[in-house]
Amino acid sequence: MTASYSEDSIKTLDWREHIRKRPGMYIGKLGDGSSQDDGIYVLLKEVVDNSLDEFMMGFGKNIDVNIHDKEVTIRDYGRGIPLGKLVDVSSKMNTGAKYDSKVFKKSVGLNGVGIKAANALSRSFDIASIREGERKFVSFSRGKLEEDRAIEATDEKNGVCVKFVPDEKLFGNYHYLMDYVESMIRNYVYLNAGLVINFNGNRFYSKNGLLDLLNENMSQPGLYEPIHLKNGDIEIALTHGNQYGEEYYSFVNGQHTTQGGTHLLAFREALVKSVREFYKKDFDASDIRASIIAVFSIKVEEPIFESQTKTKLGSRDMGPKGPSIRNHIIDFFKKEFDDYLHMNTGTAEILLKKILDSEKERKAISGIKKLARDRAKKASLHNKKLRDCRLHYNTKDNNRLETTIFITEGDSASGSITKSRNVETQAVFSLKGKPLNTFGLTKKIVYENEEFNLLQSALNIEDGLDGLRYNNVVIATDADVDGMHIRLLLITFFLQFFPELVKRRHLYILQTPLFRVRNKKKTIYCYSEEEKEKAKQKLGQNPEITRFKGLGEISPGEFKHFIGKKIRLEPVLLKKDDVISDFLRFYMGKNTPERQDFIIDNLRVEEDLIEA
């Protein structure tokens, strides 16, 4: 039966209803905090961005950020919002000072939307503004005004204080990962010399700007001292290492553009042009950029982003009356980079050797790569290793941030996930047995080994992460010794050849329940012994307890609960002090006395082994 289409079908939603009904338009996706792209971090960023804009205009050098459980408090010491407009700024769409370029010339927030999204998507949202001895406070719940206090006298310093709790009705049982928040805050201070952010009692400040940011993201020293170039609008820090791939950290007006954009394309082009002209050789672009790690920041007047989450720059010009972004970056970089290499001949020699080494390796495996590509094309037609989804990460759809590929081992596990997945956003890749331990091997193995070649092809990462087809790459293996070994082998593969996939936080481990506890009325899935004991107490009277020993034992009907809205993902994170080569050598290299001592010191007798 076709639904009737009449006047009653036409609805007008107010601002908060629209945000709550279509949150993806404003914050990308919801999520539970497992991914750095999840909405709770976007809400935090939107509020901090307003405080940052005050700092960029020369007002307020300190920002206080506190997160306790689910409550977020952000206090800046800028000019404060004009008191008579506090309610409007918090709850009326397209309302703000960012439209006046004289007041906020190169700000991050431009559309008067961000703080309203935080308001509408929060269970509680309190905001106070202090200006010249007066204080105004208003309080909201899910975007609805609850309290509007009269202006009162105060001796507090000027500024704005926002306190909010994201709504559990939308975000579910979410949690803030402090590693993600701390990384965001470090980026803020690296990009804004003189800014101090106090986060949960810890002080963050940067003396060397992008040099500090570059070093923060390097697990070992580069081949040469980082090159640091800057003028009023552009700042660049770069070096080359021995890792595979290219790593870029790009920013616009302090906003981390994780998907790049016109400015990053221009920088990559500028690098190739400058190197070719300096050495007077027509090097292949991939050889020039191989193993680079670069941090790049640009300030643009009235930037245009491709979405409200501001992860990709779409602007072509520096401002309404400015030069093109491409020409501005190329002209700046070519001159400064050429001058630097002429004055630092040692660096120029190291860079040349690196390019020639990359060229040699590329040519050595070029024949293998062609055969591997042909093999992958045939496999995609005649092999069921990849069960694809309809949407891919590198499309422009708002749902692209939710795209996931599950890497499984064995037909039973992949079968259960395939039958219960969301075919729009979730793909499945089936491994054939245990992968090879790739530690210490060269990239030739990626093309010679059929499993790794097909996995690389499925992810579309041969030429870097620009073509990555899925936002979340999830290792889904059994919670036993064999499953843990497969996890380690896959993590080793990614760290060895595609470290940027891990560094940019696309890699996860799927958490699946160990126990099912049920009675005639209710079923509870438990992910630990502690959860199992709580479930037994809750259900009482000797409930039935099932121990899942493999993913294949979980029926498709049950599996849909664990890879749907209640999915539990554990991110694979690298911290600043993690040196990838040392890490892999210890865990995946040949047996060493140090590892044997580690195993003996940390040996535990598992219940699984006792039961077996």
337-380 pLDDT per residue, tens: 999 999 999 999 999 999 999 999 889 888 888 887 777 776 66
Residue given tokens 């939307």 in the structure block: 113
Contact present, 284 and 357 (Cβ < 8 Å): no
Distances (CA, A) of 265 to 79, 317, 326: 37, 13, 8
Q: What is the mean pLDDT of residues 603-612?
A: 43
Distance CA 198, CA 74 (A): 10
Q: How many CA atoms lie within 13 A of 42 on its CB side?
A: 31
Q: Per-residue confidence at 608, pLDDT binned at 50, 70, 90? A: very low
Kind and range of the H or E element at 262?
helix 262-279
Q: Is the pLDDT of residue 568 over 60?
A: yes
Return all residues near 188 (Cβ < 8 A) that are at least 6 apart. Answer: 48, 52, 195, 197, 204, 254
* Beta strands in 356-409, from DSSP E residues, in sequence order: 386-387, 404-409
**Residue 310 CA, distance from chain mean position:** 13
Predicted local confidence at residue 112, as pLDDT:
52
- Do the bridges between strand 544-547 and strand 515-518 make them parallel or antiparallel, or are there none, so unpaired? antiparallel
Q: Under CATH, which number does the domain 383-512+548-611 receive?
A: 3.40.50.670
Q: Which tokens go with 20?
A: 């709550």
3-class SS of residue 87: helix
Q: Which tokens go with 532?
A: 């199992």
Nearest to 403 by CA among 332, 459, 327, 447: 459
Predicted local confidence at residue 612, as pLDDT:
38
**Same fold: 210-361 with 383-512+548-611:** no
Select the more confidently predicted residue: 345 or 103.
345
Q: What is the mean pLDDT of residues 449-467?
A: 88
Q: Per-residue confidence at 609, pLDDT binned at 50, 70, 90? A: very low
Which CB contacts under 8 angstroms, 24+ apart, belong to 585-589? 585/439, 587/488, 587/492, 588/437, 588/439, 588/488, 588/489, 588/492, 589/439, 589/440
Residue given tokens 């009449």 in the structure block: 6
pLDDT, mean over the chain: 86
Contact present, 514 and 528 (Cβ < 8 Å): yes
Q: Is the pLDDT of residue 54 over 80?
A: yes
Q: Which of the given ranges, 35-49, 86-100, 334-348, has the highest pLDDT on average?
A: 334-348
CA dihedral 87, 93, 98, 99 (to 10 degrees): -120
Select the more confidently predicted residue: 248 or 100.
248
Helices 450-459, 345-382: axis angle to 10 degrees equals: 100
What does residue 99 show for φ and ψ, rounded to 5 degrees? Answer: -75, -20
Distance CA 241, CA 568 (A): 34
What percent of the chain has pLDDT above 90? Answer: 48
Contact present, 210 and 237 (Cβ < 8 Å): yes
Q: What is the mean pLDDT of residues 415-423?
A: 89
Q: Which tokens go with 268?
A: 């990559």
**Residue range 187-228, pLDDT digits in tens:** 999 988 889 999 999 999 998 889 999 988 887 889 999 999
Q: Per-residue confidence at 102, pLDDT binned at 50, 70, 90? A: very low
Distance CA 500, CA 65 (A): 28
**Residue range 291-312, pLDDT digits in tens:** 999 999 998 888 888 766 677 8
- Do the bridges between strand 152-153 and strand 134-141 make them parallel or antiparallel, or are there none, so unpaired? antiparallel
Q: What is the mean pLDDT of residues 135-162?
A: 96
- Do the bridges between strand 247-252 and strand 292-298 make them parallel or antiparallel, or are there none, so unpaired? parallel
Report the greatest alpha carbon distance in the chain: 81
Residue given tokens 């945000």 in the structure block: 19
Q: Which tokens go with 26?
A: 């404003």
3-class SS of residue 345: helix
Distance CA 465, CA 245 (A): 9
Tell me which of 205-219, 232-246, 572-586, 594-608 is least confident.
594-608
What are the percentages of helix, strand and coil residues in the chain, rounded to 5? 40, 20, 40
Q: What is the mean pLDDT of residues 494-518?
A: 91
**Nearest 5 degrees, angle CA 352-CA 298-CA 396?**
95
Distance CA 160, CA 158 (A): 7
Domain ranges across the chain: 15-204, 210-361, 383-512+548-611
Contact present, 421 and 403 (Cβ < 8 Å): no
Contact present, 498 and 464 (Cβ < 8 Å): no
pTM for this entry: 0.81
In a 10 Å sphere around its CB, with 0-12 CB exposed, 13-18 middle and 19+ buried, how is residue 290 labelled?
A: buried
Q: Is the pLDDT of residue 592 over 90?
A: no
CATH 3.30.230.10 fits 210-361, yes or no: yes
Q: Is the pLDDT of residue 11 over 70?
A: no
Predicted local confidence at residue 6, as pLDDT:
61
Q: Under CATH, which number does the domain 15-204 receive?
A: 3.30.565.10
Q: What is the mean pLDDT of residues 144-167?
A: 96
Distance CA 482, CA 416 (A): 19
